[in-house]
Chain A
Amino acid sequence: MPTDYAFPDTAAKVAAARADGGTGEFETEKMSLSMGPSHPSTHGVLRLQMELDGEILTKCDPVVGYLHRGDEKIAENMTYNQFVPYTDRLDYLAPLANNVAYAIAVERLAKLEVPARCQAIRVITSELARISAHLMGLGAFGIDVGAWSVFMYSFTEREKLYTLFEELTGARFTTSYTRIGGLQRDVPEGWTGRVNAFCDQFLPILDEILAMLTRNKIFMDRTVGVGVISREDAIGYGLTGPNLRGSGVGSDLRKDRPYSGYEQFEFDVPVGTKGDCYDRYLVRGEEMKQAVRIIRQAIAKFPGGAWYATDAKKIFGPPKAKVLSSMEELIQNFMLVTEGPQMPAGEVYFEAENPKGTLGFFIVSKGGGVPWRLKIRSPSFCNLSILPKVCVGNLVSDVVSILGSLDFVMGECDR
C-alpha cells in the first residue's frame, strides 16, 4: 500500500495563509509518533503510540504483547516441576527470585514447609537477584538519560554475581534453581564465603556508582520532578515494588507478610517522598544496600540440616544415587517425573517481593501433578499500565526518563 505523503489539507492551509497576507499565526496540528517496539529506551519490545502537540505528549497508548509466549497456557500442560524453567524467562534479570516465588506458591498449595537451610538459601539467592536486577535497572536508566559510564560499572558487578550464580546453579542466566519442596542442589563448599567477599567489595563500588548519579546535575535535571506518581495513583494502578515505595507507600511484602523466613532479618524499607523518577532511583539504590544487609545476616546464621523437605516423598525427588541403586526410590522418581508432584485440589495465591514488584502466582488445582489454571501476576504489566496517565503532559525526552525509572521487563509483562 503506497503511503500518501500529500497531506489532504495542505492546499487549504496555503490558501488560508495567502488570504491574510501571511501575517496570521501558523496553523498547528498534532502529530502521532510510534516509539518502539525496537527502540533502545523501551528496554525490550514495548511500543508507545504517542500523540504529540509539538514536543508535549497529549496522549499515550502503550502497546504490549510482542513477547507474549503463552506461559500460562504452557503451565496448564505440564507438571509443576517442569514449569520452573519457564519462570526464569519471566523477569529474566532476576530468575532466581522468580524461581523462589513460584516454588513457594506451589508449596503453599501442598501445605509444605521447607527446612530452615532451604529458606536461607532462597533468601540469599533472592537478594542477590535483587542486586543484579537493580544494577541492570540503574545502568540502563543511566544510559537512557545520558550517563553511559554507570552501565560499565554496574555490569562489572553483575558479572561477578553471574560467576556466583554459575557456581551455585550451573547456569549464569536462566538458573532454574528451585524445585517444589527444595532446591536443585545444596550450596557448594565455600560459596557463602565468596558471597560475603562479594558483598564486602560491592558496597564501596555501589557507593561509587550511586555517587555518579545522585548529585549529577544532568541526571537530576532529567529526573527530579519528572514523572510524578501520586500515592493514590500508585495504589489505584496496582503499582508495586520500588515504584510504589517511591511514591511514599511503605509496602513491602518481605516486612508485611514475611515468607521464607524474612522475619528473622533486620532491614529497612526505603520509601520516597515525591514519587518522581529521582525518588524511584533513590529507592532502588538503597534497596541494594539493604539486600547486602540481609545476605550478610543470612550467611552469619546460615543453618545446617536438610536443604529440601525430606518428608515429602510425593513432591521432592529422591537423591540421584539412591534412584540408581534402590527399587523404591526408582519408582518414586519415576512417578514424580511422569505424573508430577501430587497436589491437593484448591486455590492459592502467593505474591513475593521481587525486584520489579510483587510477582504473584494464582494456582487453581483439581488435584494431580498439573495445574488447572496458573495465572502469573506480573509486576511489570501493572507498572506499565500507569503510562497513559503519567506520560501525558511530558516532553518526549521525559518519557525516556519515566520508562527508565519504572524499570520494567517485557518478558514478564507479556508472559
Chain B
Amino acid sequence: MSVPADATTALREKFPQVSPRASLDHPAVNVPAADVVAVLKYLRDEFAFDLLTDLTAIDWAEGATPQFTVVYHLLSTTRHVYLRVAADCTDNVAPAVPSVVELWPGANWHEREAFDMFGIQFTGHPDLRRILMWDGYPYHPLRKEFPLAGIETVLPDAEISEETKTKVIAAPMVGGPFVASSGEMSMTEAEPAAKDESWSERREKPE
C-alpha cells in the first residue's frame, strides 16, 4: 500500500466538503459533523491512521457559532504522523456528532467524557453515560458558563442526602477566584485579581 506523505490532499479530493484547518503543528482538517464517520473510516483504512489517540471537544463560549467543536487526534503507528480532524457541531443548543465507537472501541470512553463535560450527544453511541461526574449530575462542567468554583448540587445518593442534610457546595475561595483571563483585553481585566468581591475575609459570604 503506497501511502502519500500528506493525507489531507488526497482526503480533500475524495471528500470535497473537507477544508483545511489552521494548526501550529500537525496537519489538520475541518469536517462537517455528518461526514465524520465516513472520513475517519477512510483515513483509518487508506492512510493507516490506526490509533485514535484523543477525542475531545472545545467550547468557544456562548454566542460563538459554532459553539462546540469536536476534535479527533489520529496517530499512525506505522508512519508515525498525527492528523487532527475537527468537526463543528451545527446545533448550539443540542450539539451532536455521530459516534465513532464502531471504528475504534477506545472512542467509547472518550465520547462518554466529552458528553459528560460538554453535553455533546454522540449519536449511535452504545452506552452514553457520564463517566467522571456521577450519574444524574445536572451540569456539564467544562462548558465556559460553568463557574470555576462549581455550583451547589444535591448529593448523588438521595438517602445520604436526606440523612446528612448536606449538599455538594461550591469551592470556598475567599475573595477569589484569583484567575487570569485569556484573549485580547486590558491588563486590569486580564490579571489574576479578585473578580467577585461580594464576599471576602472581612465580609461574610451572603447566605
Write the residues of chain A forming the contact surface with B, with a CB cutoff of 8 angstroms: 1, 64-65, 68, 70, 72-74, 76-79, 82, 108-109, 111, 233, 235-240, 249, 251, 256-257, 338-340, 344, 346-351, 358, 360, 362, 364-373, 375, 377, 381-382, 384-386, 389, 414-415
Check A349–B182 contact: CB distance below 8 A. Answer: no
Partner of A371, one of B130, B148, B182: B182
Q: Answer whether A349 and B192 are a contact pair too, CB < 8 Å, given A68-B132, A70-B141, A109-B24.
A: no
B51 at the interface (CB under 8 A from A): yes
B110-126 contacts to A (CB < 8 Å): 110, 113, 117
Whether, in the assembled complex, B159 has its beta carbon less than 8 Å from a beta carbon of chain A, the answer is yes
Closest to A237 in B: B106
B9 to chain A, nearest CB (A): 20
- What's the least CB distance linking A104 to chain B, in Å? 11
CA distance A371 to B24 in the complex (A): 14
Cβ–Cβ contact A1 & B159, under 8 A = yes
CA distance A1 to B159 in the complex (A): 7
Q: Which of A1, A238, A349, A381 contacts B52 (CB 8 A)?
A: A238
With an 8 A cutoff between CB atoms, is B204 at the interface? no
Q: How far is the CB of A170 from chain B (nearest CB, A)?
A: 24
Contact of B24 among A78, A344, A369 (CB under 8 A): A344
List 17 additional contacts besides A369-B180, A389-B105; criterion CB under 8 Å. A74-B148, A76-B182, A77-B180, A78-B180, A78-B192, A238-B51, A240-B53, A347-B24, A349-B82, A358-B53, A360-B54, A366-B184, A369-B190, A375-B54, A385-B106, A386-B106, A414-B132
Are A236 and B177 within 8 A (Cβ)?
no
| Smallest beta-carbon distance B149→chain A, Å | 10
Partner of B25 from A74, A340, A348, A372 at Cβ < 8 Å: A348
The distance in angstroms between the C-alpha atoms of A64 and B135, with both chains bound, is 12
Which of B153-191 touch A at CB < 8 Å?
Answer: 159, 177, 179-184, 187, 190-191
Q: In the complex the two chains form, what is the Cα distance from A73 to B146 in whole Å?
A: 9
- The answer, yes or no, to whether B56 is at the interface (CB within 8 Å) is yes
Q: Which residues of A contact B25 (CB under 8 A)?
A: 108, 347-350
Determine the distance from Cα of A361 to Cα of B108 in the docked complex, in whole angstroms.
20
CB-contact partner of A65 in B51, B104, B131, B187, under 8 A: B131
Q: Report B43 CB to chain A, min CB distance, Å.
A: 14
| Closest residue on chain B to residue A363 by CB atoms | B24
The number of chain B residues with a CB under 8 A from chain A is 50
B22 CB contact (under 8 Å) in A79, A82, A347: A347
Contact A64 B106 (CB under 8 A): no
* Distance (whole angstroms) from the CB of B185 to the closest CB of chain A: 8
In the complex where A65-B133, A360-B73 touch, is A347 in contact with B23 (Cβ < 8 A)?
A: yes
Contact of B142 among A72, A79, A347 (CB under 8 A): A72
Partner of A236, one of B80, B105, B183: B105
**In whole Å, how far is B116's beta carbon from the nearest beta carbon of chain A?**
8
Within 8 A of A (CB), among B30-84: 50-54, 56, 58-59, 71, 73, 75, 77, 80, 82, 84
| Chain B interface residues (CB < 8 Å from chain A) | 22-26, 28, 50-54, 56, 58-59, 71, 73, 75, 77, 80, 82, 84, 104-106, 108-110, 113, 117, 130-134, 141-142, 146, 148, 159, 177, 179-184, 187, 190-192
Which of B24, B105, B131 has the largest number of chain A CB atoms within 10 A? Answer: B24
**Are B141 and A339 in touch, CB under 8 angstroms?**
no
* Shortest Cβ gap from A243 to chain B (Å): 12
A to B CB contacts below 8 Å, 26 in the list: A65-B133, A73-B146, A79-B180, A236-B105, A236-B106, A238-B53, A238-B104, A240-B53, A251-B51, A257-B80, A340-B180, A344-B24, A347-B22, A347-B25, A347-B84, A348-B25, A349-B54, A360-B54, A362-B54, A366-B183, A368-B181, A368-B190, A369-B180, A369-B182, A386-B106, A414-B132
Please name all residues of chain B whose beta carbon is closer than 8 Å to the beta carbon of A338 when the two chains form the complex. Answer: 180, 187, 191-192
For B143, the closest partner residue in chain A by CB is A73
Chain A hits for B80, CB < 8 A: 256-257
CB distance from B78 to the nearest CB of A (A): 9
Contacts of A82 in B (CB 8 A): 180
Name the contact of B108 in the complex, choosing from A72, A111, A385 (C-beta under 8 A).
A385
From B51, B132, B159, give the contact of A64 (CB < 8 A): B132
Are B182 and A68 in contact, with the CB atoms below 8 A? no
